[in-house]
Amino acid sequence: MPFNPFTIDLPVREIIAAVREYIAAQNTLIVNAPPGAGKSTLLPLALLDEAWLSGQKIVMLEPRRLAAKTIAERLAQLLGEEV
């Protein structure tokens, strides 16, 4: 069963459609939102099945190593995968 980002209630969910539209035309996007909004967890997962991403990667920049590790663990958990 594919991941459904709309089952998780985080503030960034409100911009998923706009992000999908924007990033389909542009290759770079910076999302600025408060901590806990879902920009590092929900947003990348919501984009995984986009046609434009086929054979490519999502690159996320995280300023803190601990945050990056924690986010990777959470994303894997949501997908039912190992880190």
Enumerate the domain spans of the chain. 5-79
pTM for this prediction? 0.67
pLDDT at 1: 61
Q: For 14-23, write each residue's pLDDT tens digit.
A: 999 999 999 8
Identify the DSSP state of 59. Answer: -
Residue 1: CA atoms inside 13 Å, Cβ hemisphere, count?
A: 4
Contact 10, 37 (CB under 8 A): yes
Residue 23: CA atoms inside 13 Å, Cβ hemisphere, count?
A: 22
pLDDT at 63: 67
Q: For 32-66, write each residue's pLDDT tens digit.
A: 888 889 888 888 888 888 888 888 888 877 667 77
